[in-house]
Structure 1
Amino acid sequence: MTDGETSRVDVRSRLVLGSLALALAVSGCAGDTAEPIPRVTQPTDVPSQPTPSEPTSEPTDTGDANGGNRDPEAVGTLVEGLEVPWGVDFLPDGSAVVTERISGRVLNITADGRVGRLGTVDTAVAQGEAGLLGVAVSPDFETDRTVFLYLTTDTDNRVVRARLEGSSLGSTSVVLDGIPAGFIHDGGRIAFGPDGHLYVTTGETGDPELAQDPDSLAGKILRITADGEPAPGNPDPDSPVWSLGHRNVQGLAWDDEDRLWASEFGASEWDELNLIEKGGNYGWPRVEGTGGGQGLIDPQVVWPVEQASPSGLAYVDGHLWMAGLRGQRLWRIRVSAAGKASQPKAYFTEDYGRLRTVATAPDGLLWLTTSNRDGRGTPAPADDRIIQVRP
Structure 2
Amino acid sequence: MKSETRRVEGTVIVQRRAVSAVLAAAALLLTAGCSSGDGDAPEKNGGARPTATAGSETSPGARATATPPAKGSVSVVRTVAEGLKTPWGLAPIPGGDLLVSSRDEATITRIDTKTGKKTELGEVPGVSPAGEGGLMGIALSPDFAADHMIYAYFTSASDNRVVRMLYDEKRPAGQQLGAPDTIFKGIPKGFIHNGGRIAFGPDRMLYAGTGESGDTGLSQDKKSLGGKILRMTPEGEPAPGNPFPDSPVYSYGHRNVQGLAWDREQRLFASEFGQDTWDELNAIKPGDNYGWPEAEGRTDDDAFHSPLAQWATDEASPSGLAHAEGSLWMAGLRGRTLWRVPLGGTEASADPQPFLKEEYGRLRTVVAAGGDRLWLVTSNTDGRGDPKAGDDRVLELKVS
| TM-score, structure 2 normalization | 0.82
Matched, 1:377 2:385: yes
- In the TM superposition, what are the counterparts of 1:278-317 in structure 2 within 5 Å? 278-291=286-299, 293-317=301-325
Structure 1: stretches of 5+ with no match in the other structure: 4-9, 15-45
Query: What residue in structure 2 maps to residue 130 of structure 1?
Result: 133
Query: What residue in structure 2 maps to residue 91 of structure 1?
Result: 93
- Per the TM alignment, residue 48 of structure 1 is displaced from its structure 2 partner at its CA by 6.5
The answer to whether the 8 Å contact 2:39/2:317 transfers is no
- Per the TM alignment, residue 58 of structure 1 is displaced from its structure 2 partner at its CA by 6.3
- In the TM superposition, what are the counterparts of 1:157-168 in structure 2 within 5 Å? 157-167=160-170, 168=176
Query: What residue in structure 2 maps to residue 35 of structure 1?
Result: none
The AA in structure 2 aligned to 1:75 is V
Q: Deviations over 1:356-383 (max 9, x none)?
A: 0011124642111111111111110211
Query: What residue in structure 2 maps to residue 110 of structure 1?
Result: 112
- Local SS of the residue matching 1:143: helix
Q: 1:82 aligns with which of 78, 81, 84?
A: 84
The answer to whether the 8 Å contact 1:127/1:183 transfers is yes
- Per the TM alignment, residue 123 of structure 1 is displaced from its structure 2 partner at its CA by 2.3
The answer to whether the 8 Å contact 1:130/1:186 transfers is yes
Tell me how far apart the structure 2 counterparts of residues 86 and 138 of structure 1 sit (CA, whole Å): 18
- Local SS of the residue matching 2:217: helix
Matched, 1:12 2:19: no
Tell me how far apart the structure 2 counterparts of residues 382 and 12 of structure 1 sit (CA, whole Å): 34
Matched, 1:360 2:371: no
- Per the TM alignment, residue 11 of structure 1 is displaced from its structure 2 partner at its CA by 4.5
- Per the TM alignment, residue 129 of structure 1 is displaced from its structure 2 partner at its CA by 0.2
Q: Deviations over 1:197-240 (max 9, x none)?
A: 00001000000000011111000000000000000000123100
- Per the TM alignment, residue 166 of structure 1 is displaced from its structure 2 partner at its CA by 2.3
Matched, 1:262 2:264: no
Q: 1:156 aligns with which of 159, 163, 168?
A: 159
The answer to whether the 8 Å contact 2:124/2:180 transfers is no
- Per the TM alignment, residue 110 of structure 1 is displaced from its structure 2 partner at its CA by 2.2
Query: What residue in structure 2 maps to residue 350 of structure 1?
Result: 358
Tell me how far apart the structure 2 counterparts of residues 351 and 232 of structure 1 sit (CA, whole Å): 44
Tell me how far apart the structure 2 counterparts of residues 151 and 56 of structure 1 sit (CA, whole Å): 34
The answer to whether the 8 Å contact 2:324/2:373 transfers is no
Q: 1:340 aligns with which of 338, 347, 350?
A: 347
- Per the TM alignment, residue 50 of structure 1 is displaced from its structure 2 partner at its CA by 7.8
Tell me how far apart the structure 2 counterparts of residues 58 and 282 of structure 1 sit (CA, whole Å): 19
The AA in structure 2 aligned to 1:273 is L
- In the TM superposition, what are the counterparts of 1:188-227 in structure 2 within 5 Å? 188-227=196-235
The answer to whether the 8 Å contact 2:362/2:380 transfers is yes
Query: What residue in structure 2 maps to residue 172 of structure 1?
Result: 180
Q: Deviations over 1:255-293 (max 9, x none)?
A: 011110000100000000000000010000001001151
Tell me how far apart the structure 2 counterparts of residues 244 and 237 of structure 1 sit (CA, whole Å): 15
- Local SS of the residue matching 2:351: strand
Tell me how far apart the structure 2 counterparts of residues 47 and 325 of structure 1 sit (CA, whole Å): 6
The AA in structure 1 aligned to 2:108 is V
The answer to whether the 8 Å contact 1:283/1:292 transfers is no
- Per the TM alignment, residue 56 of structure 1 is displaced from its structure 2 partner at its CA by 11
The answer to whether the 8 Å contact 1:88/1:96 transfers is yes
Query: What residue in structure 2 maps to residue 143 of structure 1?
Result: 146
Structure 2: stretches of 5+ with no match in the other structure: 1-8, 13-25, 31-37, 54-65, 171-175
Tell me how far apart the structure 2 counterparts of residues 58 and 287 of structure 1 sit (CA, whole Å): 17
- In the TM superposition, what are the counterparts of 1:228-243 in structure 2 within 5 Å? 228-243=236-251
The answer to whether the 8 Å contact 1:48/1:378 transfers is no
Q: Deviations over 1:322-381 (max 9, x none)?
A: 000000000000011x32123210001101111100111246421111111111111102
The answer to whether the 8 Å contact 1:48/1:375 transfers is no
Distance of aligned partners of 1:210 and 1:49 in 2 relative to their CA distance in 1, 3 Å threshold: closer
Tell me how far apart the structure 2 counterparts of residues 257 and 196 of structure 1 sit (CA, whole Å): 15
The answer to whether the 8 Å contact 2:52/2:309 transfers is no
- Local SS of the residue matching 1:103: coil
The answer to whether the 8 Å contact 1:89/1:135 transfers is yes
The answer to whether the 8 Å contact 2:52/2:311 transfers is no
- Number of aligned residues: 349
Tell me how far apart the structure 1 counterparts of residues 258 and 50 of structure 2 sit (CA, whole Å): 27
- In the TM superposition, what are the counterparts of 1:322-333 in structure 2 within 5 Å? 322-333=330-341
- Per the TM alignment, residue 122 of structure 1 is displaced from its structure 2 partner at its CA by 3.5
Tell me how far apart the structure 2 counterparts of residues 365 and 11 of structure 1 sit (CA, whole Å): 42
Percent identical across equivalent pairs?
A: 48
Distance of aligned partners of 1:57 and 1:216 in 2 relative to their CA distance in 1, 3 Å threshold: closer
Tell me how far apart the structure 1 counterparts of residues 283 and 214 of structure 2 sit (CA, whole Å): 23
Tell me how far apart the structure 2 counterparts of residues 364 and 290 of structure 1 sit (CA, whole Å): 31
Distance of aligned partners of 1:142 and 1:279 in 2 relative to their CA distance in 1, 3 Å threshold: same
